[in-house]
Amino acid sequence: MTDSKQTTPDPGEKGSSAERAGEGLEPVRSGAGAVAEPREPIVAGRARQGMFGVRGSGDTSGYGGLRLPPHVPQAAERPYGGWFDDVADALLDSLRDKGIDSAIQQITVDRGEITFYVDREHLVQTCSSLRDDPALRFELCSSVSGVDYGPEVPQRLHSVYHLTSMTFRRRIRLEVAVDAEDPHLPSVVSVYPTADFQEREAWDMFGLIYDGHPALTRILMPDDWDGHPQRKDYPLGGIPVEYKGAEIPPPDQRRAYS
């Protein structure tokens, strides 16, 4: 297996890649050396206090005192390592041949995986290049899933794609971030038919609207279900349940700790 590790920059070094990425100043470079405009870093998390946002519950597990800062995935600096550079160069060159220079918002390498954050306007063209370019050949979309990072996060809803090249035995991730108020992004079913049911599930659970999908209907919940159960602001506990004449309230209403 090809090593894809990066050289970790010195945290104290002035102008280090980590510092520049944290400030949204890390450019996206193409194989030909062109540099795109600096972008704000993608936010993929939120500051958390306590488990599940619970306050004043008398919790003795220690989770009530949990404090986590928001996670901002930092843009990677070249060389990415291993075959990552070849894939990034081939993708950017293919998009440039189509007259597209702004499709890739950020490239991140973390835990041995490379992630391309893609502008939703160019998602389908990006997937076409990844599938058809002889240097890429990512023929299979093995997974499409949704993520909700919570109401406090800008562009809180993310659609995540795992692509596999069976020709070169490689895997990459694509990620598209959208606002909850405008959760539209194009369907990739025309490029990857395997995304059909997976996009339906992401719509059902997260409310991501895949424009151009052949039949974007619920796949897990009833057709008349209200809301999207895996969003962070969906009511905890759901709906009351009737069992042999007795009504059981939702879990968040059964008892209160003080």
More confident site: 130 or 47? 130
pLDDT-derived band at 60, boundaries 50, 70, 90: low
Residue 75 neighbours by CB under 8 Å, 6+ apart: 17, 20, 21, 26, 28, 41, 106, 107, 108
Indicate the residue type of 129: S
The per-residue pLDDT for 49 is: 67
How far apart, in Å, are the Cα atoms of 92 and each of 98, 101, 118, 175, 187? 10, 8, 12, 16, 21
Longest dimension (CA), the chain: 71
**Burial (Cβ within 10 Å: 0-12, 13-18, ≥19) of residue 162:** middle
Question: What mean pLDDT is reported for the chain?
Answer: 80
The per-residue pLDDT for 213 is: 97
The per-residue pLDDT for 151 is: 85
**Average pLDDT value for residue range 11-32:** 40
Residue 193 neighbours by CB under 8 Å, 6+ apart: none
Query: What does the pLDDT look like over 105-154, one tens digit per residue?
Result: 999 999 899 999 999 999 999 999 999 999 999 999 999 999 998 888 88
CA distance 213 to 189: 7
Say if domain 74-247 classifies as CATH 1.10.15.40.
no
**Nearest alpha carbon to residue 4 among 91, 84, 75:** 84
Query: What does the pLDDT look like over 189-224, one tens digit per residue?
Result: 999 999 999 999 999 999 999 999 999 999 999 888
Cross-strand partners of 143: 162
* Number of residues written out for the chain: 258
pTM of this prediction?
A: 0.74
Q: What values do phi and psi take at 36, rounded to 5?
A: -80, 170
Under 8 Å between Cβ of 26 and 105: no
Extents of the domains making up the chain: 74-247
Residue entry with tokens 């075959």: 83
Query: What does the pLDDT look like over 165-187, one tens digit per residue?
Result: 999 999 999 999 999 999 999 99
More confident site: 248 or 174? 174
**Average pLDDT value for residue range 61-80:** 76
Residue 36 neighbours by CB under 8 Å, 6+ apart: 27, 28, 29, 30, 101, 102, 104
pLDDT-derived band at 237, boundaries 50, 70, 90: low
